[in-house]
A and B are shown apart, each in its own frame.
Chain A
Amino acid sequence: MRRARALAAPDPQADAFAGEEAFALPGVRPLRISLLLALAAVLAAVLLGASQGSVGIPFTTVVRILASKVLGLGSVTWPETWEEIIWQIRLPRVILAGLVGATLAFSGAAYQGILRNPLADPYLIGVAAGAGLGATIVLVSPVPYAFGTLSLLPPAAFVGAVLAVSISYGLARSGGVAPNVTLILAGVAISAAATSAMSFLIMANHERVATVLSWLLGGFNTATWQKVGIVLPYSLVGGAAVLASARFLNVLQLDEEEAQQLGVPVERVKLLVIVTASLATAAAVSVSGLIGFVGLIVPHTVRLLWGFDYRRLVPMSMAAGAVFLILADLAARSVLSPSEVPVGVVTALCGAPFFLWLLRRHRRAVF
């Protein structure tokens, strides 16, 4: 595991210490380098995703199209269809996948930090079940839900998710405190209720099974710039809030009482992180369905590679989540081309063995 390089100023008592290295501040300078590399990786993934697809468009053409649309450079020498494919279909799809991946990853890290539970993921206290129920209600109702570019589906999923989390938190909170175990239990109970309601609706309207299942499994098939616009504000605010709380999340890994005694306003931090992470996840889920695995596995993988400090974990998770989901979506639309495989299937298939391998490596190193 990489250790931070020393940057302590020269000290007359330096000899008495066990080595300068021990006294470096937790990875401030190396963090900047890691972040730059992470950003580069994300951009590379975006470029890769935008250049690949079931319709073969030469890489140089892709770059020229992007340059022309983004920077206004160059003249049009390509078929209009290609430009529309790149700009209206592939790029929003790739950007949305990256955004959702980053959101699920930082939300997962946040939940794991708050609940101090390695099995926590952003869906734990009701987001997934609530969103699923909201979406199912819309999909099975006889009322049409699409009105041109507007659709009732994302708002319904969003409202369902927010309601479920709110009820869970409300049930768990008493006397101004929401203990972790109670929160998890409430979340599981609400999720179970929502899931059973959803299952009932699906069975009662079985002719819509394929549509509902397809939404539940998640995908970026219908990505548009509009959907990117829906998720972006929630992701930005949520990401900023979790990043700002990262130092507190570190201290929270101690007992909650110890953290309080160290000056951390525990309940306020918990509420802030849960609210912003849940809203961001709800927004992501509302436009892309329930893509599993990302929120749970990406933070763990980042931990194994870059340590437990949340100030490193959160930003690196964002980048890793974005890259992971962009690549997973690329696989989802390429493997059975021209047909699509649900992204959730790909994330599970790819993620599980990779994580197992990493775990084995970590165990040998530590034990």
Chain B
Amino acid sequence: MLEIRDLWADYGGAPVLRGVSLDVASGEVVGLVGPNGSGKTTLVRAVTRVMPLRSGEVRLLGEDSRTLTRAALARRVAVVPQSPALPEGFTVLEIVLMGRTPHLRLLQSEGPSDLAAARRALTQTGATALAPRFAHQLSGGERQQVVIARALAQEAPVLLLDEPTSHLDVGHQMTVMGLVRRLCQERSLAVLATIHDLTLAALYCDRLVLLDRGAVVAEGSPESVLQPELIARAYGAEVTVLRHPASGRPVVVPLPPEAARRPPVRADSPQAKDSIAALEIGGGGPPSGDGRRDGGER
């Protein structure tokens, strides 16, 4: 549904995106990870054409994004921004109804079908109770619900989320990501989410794309992308990658400074008797699951 081909973009100086290519299919959640400044937000902006592209192509449902009008583009891809602007004086319902903008003609006002779409979106995000409240008075978690509802009301097949969980506590992080997965499946959306928490990304995404300094350095299942060497090269940090006991997904934890100086432990070494060492991926691992992704624990 979303095809990005060899995208190059910059802000007038050095390239920020260097030949990025990736695909997102309907029904899958792709996590875009990478260090700060790697170009994650820029990619979202480039796809939605709010910034000019140097070269490359973005295809939405097979059509080149450059041939689409703003409204047509907005009917195909919806964005949940990182720090949404929620102006004073508008209720949550009014904000969510703004998601219907690309479906309305010039002098047309919102009609019953638009109201129904907004209603559905609010129900699905569990934000129904917020509807009559003023948007600018909400807490962080509630705001996130509202902008997701607005993006849903747009009824676009492609959904881009820019750091949807960065301002949220762990409970809300799980709620939001769980919601995203569920919606992806219920509505067969193609979801691309930039996430800075690698463990969260691994848990909720079907595939990961690792971006470093504007280029894709790894792509594939969470296990294949979240390798300590790749992470070290991209983030400049030494980490340990463990296996989550329940889901089998990678869990990325920082390596303590002292341990960094020790060589990596092999599963068949004497130190492997250490229970933690036994959890490391690529070192044998526990019997449950086979390390590949499954539709389990949410």
Contact = CB atoms under 8 A, between A and B. Distances in A.
Q: Do A and B touch (CB < 8 Å)?
A: yes
Q: Which of B70, B73, B110, B115 has the most CB of A within 10 A?
A: B70
Q: DSSP majority for the A interface?
A: loop
A23 B107 contact: no
A264 B101 contact: yes
B71 A8 contact: no
B112 A9 contact: yes
B12 to A, nearest CB: 10
A116 B109 CA distance: 22
Contacts of B112: 9
A262 B132 contact: no
Contacts of A309: 89-90, 94
Interface string B71-93: 11111011101001111111101
Contacts of A257: 45, 50, 81
Interface stretch (B123-131, B248-256, B271-279, B285-293): B123-131
Contacts of A26: 94, 97, 110
A262 B74 contact: yes
A261 B132 contact: no
A307 B88 CA distance: 10
Interface in A204-257: 244, 247, 250-251, 253-255, 257
Range class of the B interface residue count: 35 or more
Given A22-B93, A254-B84, A263-B102, A16 B128 contact: yes
Given A18-B129, A262-B74, A263-B102, A311 B109 contact: yes
Range class of the A interface residue count: 35 or more
A264 B87 contact: no
B101 A253 contact: no
A201 B50 CA distance: 46
B85 A254 contact: yes
A263 B88 contact: no
Interface string B87-125: 111110110011101101011011010010001000100
Interface string B19-50: 00000000000000000000000000100111
Given A263-B75, A308-B90, A23 B119 contact: yes
A261 B79 contact: yes
B154 interface: yes
Contacts of B73: 263
Contacts of B89: 303, 307-309
Interface in A174-230: none
Interface string B54-83: 000000000000000111111101110100
A254 B74 CA distance: 15
Nearest to A13: B123
A308 to B, nearest CB: 3
A353 interface: no
A247 B131 CA distance: 19
A251 B104 CA distance: 13
A250 B91 CA distance: 12
B169 to A, nearest CB: 24
A244 B106 contact: yes
Q: Which of B48, B74, B98 has the most CB of A within 10 A?
A: B98
Contact of B90 (A17, A244, A253, A262): A253
Interface in A265-292: 265
B90 A8 contact: no
Given A263-B71, A263-B74, A265-B70, A23 B81 contact: no
Given A18-B129, A255-B85, A247 B109 contact: yes
A255 B132 contact: no
A52 B50 CA distance: 56
A61 interface: no
Contacts of B98: 250-251, 254, 262
A25 interface: yes
Contacts of B70: 260, 263-265
A251 B101 contact: yes
Contacts of A25: 109-110, 115
A350 interface: no
B132 A22 contact: yes
Nearest to A256: B50
A308 B109 contact: no
Given A18-B128, A25-B115, A262 B87 contact: no
A107 to B, nearest CB: 20
Contacts of A17: 119, 128, 131
Interface in A285-337: 303, 307-309, 311
Contacts of A69: none
Given A23-B115, A25-B115, A263 B101 contact: yes
A253 B94 contact: no
B115 to A, nearest CB: 6
B85 A258 contact: yes
Interface in A1-58: 3, 8-9, 13, 16-19, 21-23, 25-26, 28
Contacts of A116: 87
Nearest to B52: A175
A3 B115 contact: no
Interface of B: 45, 48-50, 69-75, 77-79, 81, 84-91, 93-94, 97-99, 101-102, 104, 106-107, 109-110, 112, 115, 119, 123, 128-129, 131-132, 154
13 contacts: A17-B131, A18-B129, A18-B131, A247-B101, A251-B98, A253-B90, A258-B84, A258-B85, A261-B79, A262-B154, A263-B70, A263-B74, A311-B109
Q: Which 7 A-B pairs have the closest CB atoms?
A: A308-B89, A263-B74, A263-B102, A263-B71, A22-B132, A22-B131, A253-B87
Given A17-B119, A261-B79, A263-B102, 20 more contacts: A13-B123, A19-B132, A22-B93, A23-B115, A23-B119, A247-B104, A251-B101, A253-B85, A254-B85, A254-B87, A255-B81, A258-B79, A261-B48, A261-B74, A261-B78, A262-B74, A262-B154, A263-B71, A263-B73, A263-B74
Interface of A: 3, 8-9, 13, 16-19, 21-23, 25-26, 28, 116, 244, 247, 250-251, 253-255, 257-258, 260-265, 303, 307-309, 311
